[in-house]
Amino acid sequence: MPAKSKIIFLGDVVGSLGRQAVKEVLPQWQKKYRPDIVIANIENLAHGKGVTIKTLQNMRDAGVGIFTGGNHIWAKHDLNELASETDFAICCPANDSRTPQKYLYQITKINNQKWVVVALIGRTFMEDDNSSNPFLKIDKILPKLPPNANIIIDLHAEATSEKRAMGFYLDGKVSAVLGTHTHIPTADAQILPKGTGYLTDVGMIGPYYSVLGIKTEIIIDKFLTDTHIRHELPETGQIEINAVLLEIDNQTHHTNKIRLMREVID
């Protein structure tokens, strides 16, 4: 078993432009950084909400090994059906009452090193009646996980305070706590005092000239009129790519290095 492992975690992949960017850039990053595992948040994968078998297969073909989801993961496909018919390694929010048992978390072994990936969903400002307390839920999950594993947490949450609190709550207990959902990359990639890698939000992979992946004029109109609008995604133009690269010590299972990676491509 190597002394260290590398991981690339891709922020929320949004629609066709997001998928296009992953297919173009991830092979380059794999060649350059040689990650042991690639994880991606895919709750916005299929035209901005949810997943389909085709879009998941696109991402697996591009090199993504494990998928995480959030509050929109249920939008297009019955997850129980997906669990019974396919072998995609998906982590739905473990504290969501709708999550199938198969998707509570994912465990894999790469180069004799065990990896565990867990997705949680926040409750502050999320307006979701299906979720339980993520802090109490992870307390129940951690004792069930295999020992000597690198543990990655995707906290899909709106409030920066909730993500920050979770980072310190799990500091030293997991390898990394990485925030998703708000689609804006934050400038606080760091290693917490007890060795857990932390980032409040990885950001998204999707249309650069947009509001969180949605056409700008639609969101501006929403704020001007206070009306309900239909989300439409740009299908052409520049694409922003946000991800995080981590190096993890396979003995301590703590993060040695963490770096936000951001590119804009045509």
Catalytic-role residue among 72, 77, 253, 254: 72
- Which long-range contacts link 81-90 to residues 24+ away (Cβ below 8 Å)? 82/51, 82/53, 85/53, 86/53, 86/56, 88/56, 88/60, 89/65, 89/117, 90/42, 90/51, 90/56, 90/66
Of 43, 6, 7, 78, nearest to 183 by C-alpha is: 43
Ligand-binding annotation for 231, yes or no, is no
The DSSP secondary structure of 94-109, one letter per residue, reads TTBTT--GGGSEEEEE
Ligand-binding annotation for 148, yes or no, is no
Ligand-binding annotation for 44, yes or no, is yes
**Annotated catalytic residue 72:** yes
Residue 219, H or E segment: helix 216-225
First to last CA, the chain: 39
Q: Report how far residue 260's alpha carbon sits from residue 246's, in angstroms, rounded to the nearest whole number.
A: 9
Ligand-binding annotation for 156, yes or no, is yes
Rounded to 10 degrees, the C-alpha dihedral 207/9/53/163 comes to -80
Query: Angle CA(180)–CA(184)–CA(187) in degrees, nearest 5?
Result: 95
Ligand-binding annotation for 12, yes or no, is yes
Per-residue tokens: 106:
């994912």
Ligand-binding annotation for 226, yes or no, is no
Residue ranges of the binding site for Fe cation: 12, 43-44, 71, 156, 181, 183
Residue ranges of the binding site: 12, 43-44, 71, 156, 181, 183
Q: Which residues are catalytic?
A: 72
